[in-house]
Every structure is written in structure tokens, then in C-alpha cells.
Amino acid sequence: MTRSGLASSAPPSHRRIALVLGGGGMKGFAHIGVMKALEERGIVPTRYAGTSIGALLAAARLGGYTPDQLAARAESLKRRDLFRINHFGMIMERMRSPSIYLEEPLRDLCRAVVPAGTFADLPLPLLVNTVDLERGSPVIWGSPGLQNVYVQDAVYASCALPGYFPPGKVGERVCVDGGVIDNLPVAIGALDADLVIAVDVGSTDLRPIQDAASLGFANIYMRAATTMMHALQQFPLTNWQGPPMVLIRPRCSEDWLSFTNIAATIQEGHRAAHKALEDIDAFYDQPGGVYPRRRFEIEVDRDRCIGCGLCAALAPSMMGLDAQGKAYTRTRTADWSPADGEFVHHCPTHAIIARKVERIVPLKAGERGAA
């Protein structure tokens, strides 16, 4: 038993619950609010998986930090505690400099909150998602055969966003941020799990922005990276074949690097988690799927539709083109999880309208009637 009350055994129901925490820079502090909500509901994960800040906070939790302690630590952080320009490297090495920011501040943060020792020393399984830079392939530290390395090294590498921080050496491999390939490692986290609770903070609420070219190269890069990560992780979510998944998507700000809204970000994670977990008892007994689910009415504004066909290409089961080349809906209603309905936001003229109708609560085992 650790000082936080974490035990190495499964919860009383013997259900195996995987908590998967995605990357997202400072937006990842929403994970703290999620962990607080889980604690309040008595939900105890039996394994953790994470990318970048998700890996950092998962490791800190397993190291004994409570959500309140993590919140206090996060709210005390200043920009200089993490981001210090690598002036010498930028001047002397120029294009050969490995990063914009120095390695040591991020290393210090990992040493401060991540437990020392190897993955085998942790009280519960932890999977840390990285990418082997030399091989161009994912490496999930903490998996069988990949446990005899230092957790702090793996977490640093998982946080080492290419170009921002230098790559990290884990064992004999040179690794970078796992978000390069998989920002929300639900597939590996779901192995041997009865339920997955996944928290996506990296690509949610990708709202249009104004005058993107004036943001500066760092923010332009992060905007492009966010778009790429969102597209990469949509496939495993919309084609999910694993155990039931509760997908939590806090509505955080777009700025990955902002330290000004940490308390509000934590609170938003707490709010979003409580909302998503309202019907969790019904999710356990489902054969699969992504939850929570909501019923939407879908329609097309024909005056706005330009007939580009993007919606029909992205969602052929939901959308089609009529004889006049205008989009139409194949069904007026749909029961969507947070991972569904992506094509609506991609319409270039906002001609597709989706209205939330009601919350869908799945039947629990032994119940009868329509959901």
C-alpha cells in the first residue's frame, strides 16, 4: 500500500480497469481532475497507460501522489520551471541543435514527481508510450520484456516533443514523444482490461482560429501537430473493437504551452469526468463500444452545401450525394459517442447540422426493454 492508498489488487468487483491518459502539453493537467473524480466515485484503475504528460501524471500517481497533491504541484509551476531556451545550442549548433528548449528542467520535473526505479518496482502496471527515433517505431515501456528500464527515463522520453526537447535514451534506445504515432494509447492499454477509461486532451475541441500565420512558428507547429494527432487517433476510436471504453474529452483551451489556466484546466477535467461517468455501472456489462452515447438529429442546409462530397467520402454510411450533387443524410438520427460525428466539423461551409436530442443509457445485464 502506498501513501495515497493505492493497492496492487483489483477493486472489490474484480473488474480490470485501465486508465489511459493522452498527451496534450499543459492541457494534460485536466488528467488531475479526472483522477480526482475517479477517487470520489471509488473507481480504482488496475493499470495505467499514458503518453507525454499523461505518462508523467500516471507515473506520479503510482508513485504515491494524490490528486490534491498533484493539483498543488501543477498550480505552483511557472513557465521557467519547464521551458528554458537553449540559447547556446541555437547559436553554436544552429540547425544541428537538438531542441529549442533545454533538457534539464524537464528532467528535473520527472525526477521530482516520477518514482525512481524500474517498472518492475511499481505497485501496478504502467505503460509509457514512446517512439524509437532511430527505428521509427513505437516502444511501450512497461510491457512484458520492456520493464527493466528506469521509469523516469521512459517518462522523460515520452514527454520529449521533437524539436522542443532533446530525445531521451531509455535503455539502449533513443526515444521521443509517443504522440508522434499514438497520442492516446488505448489499444495497448486495453489488453487484459474489462473497461477502459480514456482521457483525450490533446486534440479535443479543435476550433477554428483567426490569423493562424501570425501565431509564430512554435504555435503554428503545435496547431499542425494537434491536427495530425487528432487524425491519427480517430481511427482506433471510430473502429474500436476492444472492451467497453469511457471516452472523456475535457474542453480545454487550445494553447498547449499556457500556464495561466492550470486551476481551471484541472476543474474542467473533474467536470468532464463526472459527466462521462454518470452511467458507468451500465458500461461494464456491454460487449464493447465507446461511451457515453448521445442521440443526435442530423440535417443538411442545402443552401450552404457546395457539393464537395467530403462528408460522403468520410462517412459513407451516414451521408450521400443526391442527383443535384447536394449532400443528404442517410438517417435522420444517430447514437454517437464522443468519437463519432467527426465529418460534421469537416464540412467547409458548415452545412451539416447535428443537434443533441437525448442521453442514451445502455441496459445493464438482466434488464429488459429498449435502451
Judged by phi (left if over 0) then psi (alpha if -120 to 50, else beta), residue 328 lies in beta
Is the predicted pLDDT of residue 256 greater than 80, yes or no? no
Catalytic choice (52, 99, 203, 337):
52
Q: Which residues pair with 141 in a beta bridge?
A: 128
Distance (Å, whole) CA 114 – CA 255: 25
pLDDT of residue 5: 46
Q: Are 133 and 110 in contact (CB under 8 A)?
A: no
Element spanning 273, H or E: helix 262-276
3-state helix, strand, coil in the chain (%, to 5): 35, 20, 45
pLDDT of residue 77: 84
Q: Is the pTM of this model over 0.75?
A: yes
**355: which residues sit within 8 A by CB, 6+ positions away?**
296, 297, 298
Each residue's pLDDT tens digit, 265-313:
999 999 999 999 999 989 988 999 999 999 999 999 999 999 999 999 9
Judged by phi (left if over 0) then psi (alpha if -120 to 50, else beta), residue 145 lies in left
52 is catalytic: yes
Distance (Å, whole) CA 178 – CA 157: 8
Assign 13 a pLDDT band (cuts: 50, 70, 90): low
Extended strands (E) in the chain: 17-21, 47-51, 126-132, 137-141, 168-170, 173-177, 195-199, 245-248, 290-291, 293-300, 319-321, 327-329, 333-336, 352-360
327 in helix, strand or coil?
A: strand
Count of beta carbons in the 10 Å neighbourhood of residue 294 = 18
Lowest mean pLDDT among 256-260, 262-266, 268-272: 256-260
143 is catalytic: no
Assign 94 a pLDDT band (cuts: 50, 70, 90): low
Each residue's pLDDT tens digit, 157-214:
999 988 888 999 999 999 999 988 999 999 999 999 999 999 998 765 566 667 767 6
Catalytic choice (4, 99, 158, 177):
177
Averaged over 27-47, what is the pLDDT?
96
Assign 371 a pLDDT band (cuts: 50, 70, 90): very low
Distance (Å, whole) CA 31 – CA 70: 10
